[in-house]
Structure 1
Amino acid sequence: MSSLPERKKYILSIDQGTTSSRAILFTKQGEIKSVGQHEHEQIFPKAGWVEHNPLEIWENVRKSVGEALSRAEVNHHEIAAVGITNQRETTVVWDKNTGEPVYNAIVWQDTRTQKICDELGGEAGPGKYHDITGLNLATYFSGPKIKWILDNVEGAREKAEAGDLLFGNTDTWVLWNLTGGKDGGVHATDVTNASRTLLMNIRTLEWDENIAADMGIPMSMLPQIRSSSEVYGEGRQTGLLAGTPIAGILGDQQAATFGQACFEKGMAKNTYGTGNFMLMNTGNEPVISENGLLTTVAYKIGDADPVYALEGSVAVSGSLIQWLRDNLRMIDHASESEELATSVEDSGGAYVVPAFSGLFAPHWRPDARGVIVGLTRYVNRAHIVRAALEATAFQTREVLDAMNADADAAGTKVHLEELRVDGGMTANEFLMQFQADLLGVPVIRPKVIETTALGAAYAAGIAVGFWEGEQDVIDNWAEDKRWEPSMDKEEVERQYRLWKKAVSKTLDWVDEDVDHE
């Protein structure tokens, strides 16, 4: 590792998320120096459709970087490297000659590609590419979204076949723009983001030409696949970061796993954000799930072997509380949810299953829709808010059960001893305690809960010698609070049984008549 000049005091992390873009400056100790943040518009053209404006995202990234630097009174000469983390699967297709997107970004939650997925699966069904990619055919992933854009945007297919269009998840879009855009921008992604497209072979870490051909996606559109920790290029377009190496990319959930120092087989983290996402490190060999989980690349540091993970992706958790606030007006602020939830002894027999985008892991049922069940005249607003918070913990329990079953089947006998947690919802102590009760293991929140941005910072810093390697990440990680299980086990299992009953009521809702609406 080359030694860095002493003036290089910080790593800048760009966190391009589902609801906002943030820039966070981190010190060598992994502590936050300053933050810039801007929300972008959530666009809902039709039921089940979710879009973002890629130009707005790029503008917000630039503004957030400027704010983070000015608040810290820091310039790019003091920044050793930039790391990028991002909402995964959200798909951008743009013209490489103009830098203009041909359509809005289609967000990971969007369900418009269900018919494409059904057609691609054919008689083989959703598992057609499972053994190659570690993923089932689902609306969640990028590949079918690219196909939708090429099939539905006038002139897009012709431009793609002429080699004029580029695809990327938002990490690639930000990297391309940072490094010059139409004037020589680097068109690359890392293994973690590539593993979320349905287009990458999970073992060779290369694009699968046959799957791309099935989806009608020209190979010229796809970014180069690189490791998660290496210098991809230098900042050019924004003067704020001129000459600064862009040296780390990790999809948001993998970044959180890295920031939580989950480097040993069997270690797991859960991030509570718009959705919630649990990843368990399975080591250097991919474990192909038979229980509804995704096999994903956790990280790859430079030339080192890749590390894999099993992932349980839950589409709706924090966004359920936003829905209670914005759509039902049950609360004015998300922070009120804990006080309301603890104002009642239990959920009054009510259960909320937020299958707004169908059910993700471990069910993968696009035909499901959200339900509130168990309603009586006794149930009030507080019960429903409590049931909504409990839904996040129940969904996580379903994922853990699937992880344990997969680990047993693979002969790895990896069972969770503790769950490291991060994300905005970890501020809700009621939820964290209920989560510990349901899982039967301690739930631990670190001192720096911005582990997604921190993970990308670590990947970038390791690439340029700012940090030596994983041991520095382990040394910087510090526990803030832990919640020990305390609920009676029989009561836990009773509630979990009723939750599963509630889930069964969400299924088979969408058919051709409902879809037509």
Structure 2
Amino acid sequence: MGTQRNGYRKETFILSVDVGTTSIRCHVYDKEAKIRGTCTHKVSLLYPEPGRVEMDPEELWQSFVTVVKGAVQDSGFQMWQMEAIGISTQRATFTTWDRKTGHPFHNFISWQDLRAAELVKSWNQSCTMKSIHGVMKVLHFFTRQKRFLAASLVVFSTQHISLRLAWMLSNCPELSKAVNENSCCFGTVDTWLLYKLTKGSVHATDYSNASTTGIFDSYQVAMVVDTSTGTGEEASGWGQLSLVGCHRGAELKFSKVTAAGKKLTLNLLVQVQRDL
């Protein structure tokens, strides 16, 4: 693993960033998977009201920048020697932001947040859910397909993004307006970091994070060609996401779902090298 610079070959490394609930850390790995540099920064959690847990998106981004720079400095190497970057994040934590300005409409709503507890309880006890369970049991009996069995057992929890997002749409007028004007982006922590790293040119997530939204069909995993760009890149079938039962007819721009490991390395590291 190496790269050519100024006529001679230099050793290169891999950056690995883990964004957890209480801390964010970055390691620099060499080709033998040995840690050559590290940096850790505490994640600030906000508790605006009992049961509510949030994080400031801009502060999280700055913490990300801090640990990346700190780990590279600790390694004693240069940023241009970082050949790739891997990002692992806490899941089921989300935010929304203006597509044009990149300004968040609200803080990250943590997976620990309980503001939608009553909405969750209401849905789980509703006739709609009972009907869905009944129909799915019948379909499973006749087809023996596991997806119908799963649907017959599913219940909402406060850790599902879907109902916390529905709560935000009902209680954040600015967000609701942006959704109706089709000027809103939605994403989990990884989506936000990729968006910032690429100056808004990449709006993406992976299957693991998408599965926590409650609006991604893990059985179908239907990937389609993104005809809007003509690039032939894979995109999620949820390109324009309708939130049924929340804002009828309103659409929320959802991120492309890229296979884990799909190479965004070049774009990311150019941004890291220039701006971090």
**Residue 110, structure 1, aligned to residue 110, structure 2:** no
**Residue 212, structure 1, aligned to residue 243, structure 2:** yes
**Which one has the largest radius of gyration?**
1
| One-letter identity of the residue aligned with 1:235 | L
**Matched residue SS, 1:168:** strand
**Residue 169, structure 1, aligned to residue 188, structure 2:** yes
Shift of 1:47: 1.9
Q: How does 1:305-324 map to 2 (within 5 A)?
A: none
Shift of 1:155: 2.1
1:26-85 CA deviation, whole Å, 9 max, x = no partner?
122222111122112211122211111111100100011111111112223211211111
Q: Return the alpha-carbon distance in structure 2 between the equivalents of residues 127 and 145 of structure 1.
A: 21
**Matched residue SS, 1:85:** strand
TM-score, normalised to structure 2, is 0.76
Q: Return the alpha-carbon distance in structure 1 between the equivalents of residues 257 and 205 of structure 2.
A: 5
Shift of 1:4: 6.0
Kept after mapping to 1: 8 A contact 2:241/2:251: no
User: In the alignment, which residue of structure 2 is the partner of 1:447?
Assistant: none
Kept after mapping to 2: 8 A contact 1:191/1:227: yes
Q: How does 1:250-399 map to 2 (within 5 A)?
A: none
After superposition, the CA RMSD in angstroms is 3.0
Shift of 1:199: 0.6
**Residue 10, structure 1, aligned to residue 29, structure 2:** no
Kept after mapping to 1: 8 A contact 2:24/2:41: yes
**Residue 148, structure 1, aligned to residue 162, structure 2:** no
**Matched residue SS, 1:231:** coil
Q: 1:222 to 1:29 in 2, by over 3 A?
A: same
**Matched residue SS, 2:173:** coil
Q: Return the alpha-carbon distance in structure 2 between the equivalents of residues 133 and 90 of structure 1.
A: 26
User: In the alignment, which residue of structure 2 is the partner of 1:96?
Assistant: 99
Kept after mapping to 2: 8 A contact 1:22/1:35: yes
Of 194, 217, 226, the match for 2:210: 194
User: In the alignment, which residue of structure 2 is the partner of 1:38?
Assistant: 41
Q: 1:175 to 1:195 in 2, by over 3 A?
A: same
Of 57, 77, 82, the match for 1:79: 82
Q: Return the alpha-carbon distance in structure 2 between the equivalents of residues 133 and 145 of structure 1.
A: 22
Q: Return the alpha-carbon distance in structure 2 between the equivalents of residues 77 and 144 of structure 1.
A: 42
Shift of 1:136: 3.1
Instruction: Name structure 1 gaps, 5 residues minimum.
Output: 245-517
Q: 1:158 to 1:80 in 2, by over 3 A?
A: same
TM-score, normalised to structure 1, is 0.42
Q: Return the alpha-carbon distance in structure 1 between the equivalents of residues 54 and 19 of structure 2.
A: 14
Q: Return the alpha-carbon distance in structure 1 between the equivalents of residues 152 and 256 of structure 2.
A: 17
> Which stretch has the larger CA shift, 218-227 or 97-106?
218-227
Kept after mapping to 2: 8 A contact 1:52/1:106: yes
Kept after mapping to 1: 8 A contact 2:188/2:209: yes
**Residue 235, structure 1, aligned to residue 268, structure 2:** yes
Q: Return the alpha-carbon distance in structure 2 between the equivalents of residues 215 and 236 of structure 1.
A: 39
Shift of 1:14: 1.6
Kept after mapping to 2: 8 A contact 1:180/1:237: no
Q: 1:151 to 1:7 in 2, by over 3 A?
A: farther
Q: 1:70 to 1:226 in 2, by over 3 A?
A: same
Kept after mapping to 2: 8 A contact 1:178/1:237: no
Q: 1:136 to 1:127 in 2, by over 3 A?
A: farther
Q: 1:136 to 1:228 in 2, by over 3 A?
A: farther
Shift of 1:167: 0.9
Of 224, 227, 233, the match for 2:256: 224
Q: Return the alpha-carbon distance in structure 1 between the equivalents of residues 149 and 22 of structure 2.
A: 30
Kept after mapping to 1: 8 A contact 2:18/2:24: yes
Q: 1:132 to 1:33 in 2, by over 3 A?
A: farther
Q: 1:95 to 1:30 in 2, by over 3 A?
A: same
Shift of 1:97: 1.7
User: In the alignment, which residue of structure 1 is the partner of 2:31?
Assistant: 28
Q: 1:93 to 1:130 in 2, by over 3 A?
A: farther
| One-letter identity of the residue aligned with 1:11 | I
Kept after mapping to 2: 8 A contact 1:194/1:225: yes
Q: Return the alpha-carbon distance in structure 2 between the equivalents of residues 92 and 177 of structure 1.
A: 13
Of 47, 65, 68, the match for 2:68: 65
Shift of 1:165: 1.2
**Residue 139, structure 1, aligned to residue 124, structure 2:** no
Q: Return the alpha-carbon distance in structure 2 between the equivalents of residues 96 and 235 of structure 1.
A: 19
Kept after mapping to 1: 8 A contact 2:92/2:110: yes
Shift of 1:200: 0.4
Instruction: Name structure 2 gaps, 5 residues minimum.
Output: 4-8, 134-147, 223-236
**Matched residue SS, 2:33:** coil
Kept after mapping to 2: 8 A contact 1:118/1:126: no
User: In the alignment, which residue of structure 1 is the partner of 2:219?
Assistant: 203
| One-letter identity of the residue aligned with 2:255 | P
Q: Return the alpha-carbon distance in structure 2 between the equivalents of residues 231 and 242 of structure 1.
A: 19
Q: Return the alpha-carbon distance in structure 2 between the equivalents of residues 36 and 8 of structure 1.
A: 21
Kept after mapping to 1: 8 A contact 2:132/2:152: no
Q: 1:219 to 1:225 in 2, by over 3 A?
A: farther
1:197-216 CA deviation, whole Å, 9 max, x = no partner?
10100112255689832444
1:312-359 CA deviation, whole Å, 9 max, x = no partner?
xxxxxxxxxxxxxxxxxxxxxxxxxxxxxxxxxxxxxxxxxxxxxxxx
